[in-house]
Amino acid sequence: MKNLSPTSNLLLNWCVILICTAPAQAADPALKGNVSSTSKTAPSLPASKNAAAGAIVTSAYGQGVHAYQAARYNEAVAYMYDAIMKEKAGANAWLYMGNSYYAMGQKKRAIETYQSIKTRFPGTPQAIAAAQYLQRLNPVSTAAKTDATETGATETAEGKDESGEKKAATMSPAAVLAGLRQRMKIIRPAYGRTEVTKRTIAAVDACFDKIPPQVREILYKNDIKFEITPTMIDKYPEGAYQEVAGYEGGTSKSCPGLFDNGTIVLSQATINESTDEVNKPRKVDDLEGTFLHETGHALDHCLDWYSRSKEFRHNYYLDIARVPDDVAPRISYFLQKSDAGQIESCAELTSILLGNNRGKDAELTIYFPNTLSFIRKKLGL
Ligand SMILES: [Zn+2]
């Protein structure tokens, strides 16, 4: 790791720690039935934080998510109703409710619920999703003509996908892109520092354009969120992530980006660990590289941490066995023992596939051909 610049070194170290502390990914509650034989796919909802595997769920919302995932749609409706009334649950609860009605073939109620979402939460991804489902349910008014078999197929909730495989959303690529952009949050400077500039926002925006539609869809369906912060201290003023302290001397001050619990956080500038001065805003290609690297971690998370799978390891081992001795020190970060090498290689190689060309892209492309092609397959590239 001596061979990496201090910045990239810290960047990568941060990633490992935060990734490892992220909770298990919740199952994507893809709707298991169809009301319309013309819709090949069912509505899907973002993963719920409350439904993390193994978590004890006590909220009505969490119980509703569980009921929904178990295809107990009647129960799911009741829980979501409670969640909305008593827990002030937001658009996701409404969407679960609408999709439960949809799954039960209660078309009128589903339409009413989706319309409420559009009215109550305009401009949100949930409203966009609701509009898409309305289009399926109400093709006449939306001019998206479907065939006449719709009503005859309203009770096909049993036709579920037992494999639990996530179904593709039918949202248009433009709607997915818009939905992702709407999830971007800008953190205000907490200590009178420079705000996040248009230039930084534009850099992230350009990344969204670079990411292929099928990959955007994975991020969208798994409810990945994005935040840009002036520095990590503005995002975590109390110096969160204490566990990182002491690790190569890095604290949140010098952290350029991280992925934590479904959210990609990018900092515009790092802070000098010893002088406490804010460094110059990072260059655009560096911002993009960090953002895409964290996107790599996010995708790994969306796909059940496949970088730790046997298949991934197999390809990874094939590759690292052929790394020449004189090259190894330069890419040692990606050769780390335990899972770290796999996780970081996965994130960085993914970023390269998404257009990151800062730093070590050429070298990694040469020495990780098997891993790269495995990732490509996994992401449908
Ligand atoms: Zn990382």
Residue 33 maps to a domain: no
Answer yes or no: is pLDDT of 35 > 80.
no
| Ligand 1 centroid to residue 48 C-alpha, Å | 24
Q: Highest mean pLDDT: which of 190-199, 231-240, 298-307?
A: 298-307
Query: How many whole angstroms from 50 Cα to the centroid of ligand 1?
Result: 25
Residue 211 shares a structural domain with residue 359: yes
Contact criterion met (CB below 8 Å) for 307 and 343: yes
For residues 247 and 105, what is the distance between their CA atoms, to the nearest angstrom? 54
- Per-residue confidence at 37, pLDDT binned at 50, 70, 90? very low
Q: Ligand 1 mean position to 347 CA, how many Å?
A: 6
Residue with tokens 């369906």: 221
Q: Is residue 288 included in any domain, yes or no?
A: yes
Do the Cβ atoms of 242 and 205 come closer than 8 Å?
Answer: no
> Are residues 84 and 97 in contact, defined by beta-carbon separation less than 8 angstroms?
yes
- Say whether both 192 and 112 belong to one domain: no
Residues 198 and 151 grouped into a single domain: no
For residue 328, the CA-to-ligand 1 centroid distance in Å is 18
Cα 339 to averaged position of ligand 1 atoms, centre (Å):
12
Listed in sequence order, the residues at least 6 apart from 323 whose beta carbon sits closer than 8 Å to its beta carbon are 331, 335, 367
Shared domain for 153 and 215, answered yes or no, is no
Per the model's pLDDT, the better-predicted residue between 371 and 253 turns out to be 371
Concatenating the DSSP letter of every residue in 260-304 gives ETTEEEEES--B-TTT-PBPPPPPHHHHHHHHHHHHHHHHHHHTT
**Angle in degrees, CA 270, 275, 277, rounded to 5:** 45
pLDDT at 325: 94
- Supply the pLDDT for residue 84: 83
Closest CA to 93 of 160, 34, 45: 45
> Most confidently modeled of 80-84, 162-166, 204-208?
204-208
Q: How many CB atoms lie within 10 A of CB 237?
A: 11
- pLDDT given at position 145: 35
Let me know how many helices (H) and strands (E) the chain has, helices first. Answer: 16, 4
From 165, 197, 215, give the residue that closes a domain: 165
Does some domain include residue 271? Answer: yes
Q: Alpha-carbon torsion 260, 274, 246, 296, what sign?
A: positive
Vertex 375 angle, CA 26 and 185, to 5°: 50
- 15 vs 87: CA distance, rounded Å: 33
- How high is the pLDDT of residue 40? 37
Domain end (from 145, 165, 185): 165
- Lowest-confidence pick of 65-79, 117-131, 286-300: 117-131
- State the residue range of the domain holding 79: 49-165
- Tell me the CA–centroid distance for residue 138 and ligand 1, in Å: 44
30 in any annotated domain: no
Do 185 and 289 belong to one domain?
yes
* Number of independent structural domains in the chain: 2
Conformational region of residue 158, where left means phi above 0, alpha means psi within -120 to 50, and beta covers everything else:
alpha
Of the residues 131, 165, 199, the one at which a domain ends: 165
pTM for this prediction: 0.58
Between the CA of 310 and the centroid of ligand 1 the distance, in Å, is: 20
Which residues lie below 8 Å from residue 34, measured CB to CB, with a gap of 6+? 40, 41, 42, 153, 156, 157, 159
Distance 18 CA to ligand 1 centre (A): 9
Contacts of 12 (CB under 8 A, 6+ apart): 4, 333, 344
Find the 142 Cα to ligand 1 centroid distance in Å.
44
User: Is the residue at 273 inside a domain?
Assistant: yes
| Cα-based torsion angle of the residue sequence 352, 357, 363, 365 in order, rounded to the nearest 10 degrees | 30
> Is residue 121 domain-shared with residue 234, that is, in the same domain?
no
Q: CATH number of the domain at 156, please.
A: 1.25.40.10
Q: Are residues 180 and 304 in the same domain?
A: yes
Asked whether residue 24 is assigned to any structural domain, the reply reads no
Has residue 170 been placed in a domain?
no
Question: Residue 224 CA to chain centroid, in angstroms?
Answer: 3
Query: Are 155 and 186 in the same domain?
Result: no
**Mean pLDDT of all residues belonging to the chain:** 76
Q: Same domain, yes or no, for 221 and 314? A: yes
